[in-house]
Amino acid sequence: MRISARLYDWLDRRLNLQPLERSLLDEPIPGGASWTYVFGSATLFLFGLQALTGMCLAVYYVPSPDAAYDSVEYIQHEISFGWFIRGLHHWGASAIMVAIGLHLLQVYLYGAYKRPREPMWMVGVALFLLMMGFGFTGYLLPWDQNAYWATAVGTNMVATVPLAGDFLVRALRGGTTLGALTLSRFFALHVLVLPTLIVSGILLHLVILRRVGPAGPWDEHRAGQTREAFYPRQVFMDAVVMLGAFLVVALLAVAVEFPLADRADPADHTFTPVPEWYFLFFYQLLKYTPGPLEPLASWGLPFLLVLGLFLLPILDRTPERRPAARPLAMGAGVLFLALVFTLLGISLRSLYAQPRMDPSVAHGKALYARHHCAACHRIHGEGGKVGPDLSYVADERPDAQWHLRHFRDPTSVSPGSIMPKFPLSDQDMTDLTNYMLSLKSGGAIASDGKGAA
């Protein structure tokens, strides 16, 4: 403590830190500290977590179609704690969308977008859109089937924008189709352009907050009666929520693996992509607007919604902030949330009704492709004929231990085998075995998340 105090005094004498400290920590909160004010700080913390984990991933990631998929697999399975860092980044993206959504909802409910805080609300809406852009550009980077085809669908929507559609989609893709230029542009947007814009927007958001001050509760009488400094109670509440958010994200990273799909195959037009959950309601809406109505859902309604959010402080002329005094704004908000959650629920129900591949089997299938096993073996008519056909290998060899011994040392169970030993970890061997055991006549790949070995 004494050393840290001396260090602070040394810096304070040179940088005059005390006025900054007072500005940050002594800011009065109308109505006092509250748990409803924590979502902005939680969003800022999660953005920092995304930046940190993103930098760690970028050390190993290679933004090219030939190497992107392999580099993500390498991070996931070869780098120490790479799976954990990738899990934090994946689930952190979902957490930050929840946090910023709750923050906007709290501001909307409290009417904190009204004078003199209109610019702060508009900057907040812009930050929300940039975060959505973060999710869209980051989804392509693994370059697996899901990433490729979900991005193809997303960029096709851009093409429906009148007049500028063709230009915009070519600018995003770097051409007429998704390829190397698309991946490099999305990577540049994800790690350079969007972070710069978001950091600038956050700084502007905080500067405006410091100039106009927090809005406090919607009850003006209560807000005027009590004022409490930001430190210590609000700082404590924010810290508790930040810790809780990190623990939830870390628990999800440990407990729920985010597996890769197969390597991107531009020729496979039968693949049905699944976007991130915060885009699902939009994709579901597109299903109800086919043909000539598609542009209405792909750009018309989103444009009107974004425009309405930006102009909300101008459109809502009610002087009071109480929800009861703003029936039109509250009704529109409830209607919008009901629509979004209804579409999201329908989409999730249809997704969970479809059989899903066990993550272990999916990884085993990826290992099969990564080590070029198809050069010697055939599965359902595809592959070489040097080795045995594996289309229904589980019918002939249902014993998991046999497969494990075979992968460790092929000649131990198949004397004279020309199959080489592959440098696989125990987990890789288990996953490859699970994939082999899924290859059986009339059998479905496990979808309960449990391994077959």
pLDDT at position 427, please?
84
Vertex 186 angle, CA 205 and 298, to 5° = 80
Number of H helices, E strands in the chain: 22, 4
Give the predicted TM-score (pTM) of the model.
0.80
SS3 of the chain: helix, strand, coil, percent, to 5: 65, 5, 30
Backbone dihedral angles phi then psi of residue 276, each to the nearest 5 degrees: -60, 155
pLDDT at position 345, please?
94
Whether the CB-CB separation of 346 and 284 falls below 8 Å is answered with yes
Backbone dihedral angles phi then psi of residue 29, each to the nearest 5 degrees: -105, 115
Structure tokens at 31: 């109505």
pLDDT at position 445, please?
43
pLDDT at position 450, please?
35
Going 109 to 112 to 115 to 117, the CA torsion angle's sign is: negative
Mean pLDDT by 10 residues, the chain (453 residues): 80 83 83 94 97 97 95 92 96 97 96 94 97 94 92 88 89 92 96 97 94 89 84 95 98 89 82 87 86 82 93 92 94 96 92 69 83 87 86 88 89 85 84 89 46 36
pLDDT at position 354, please?
61
Vertex 295 angle, CA 294 and 299, to 5° = 125
What domains appear along the chain, each with residue ranges and CATH number?
A: 27-352 (1.20.810.10), 359-437 (1.10.760.10)
Q: How far apart are CA 90 and CA 26, in angstroms?
A: 36
Going 374 to 379 to 381 to 382, the CA torsion angle's sign is: negative
pLDDT at position 1, please?
60
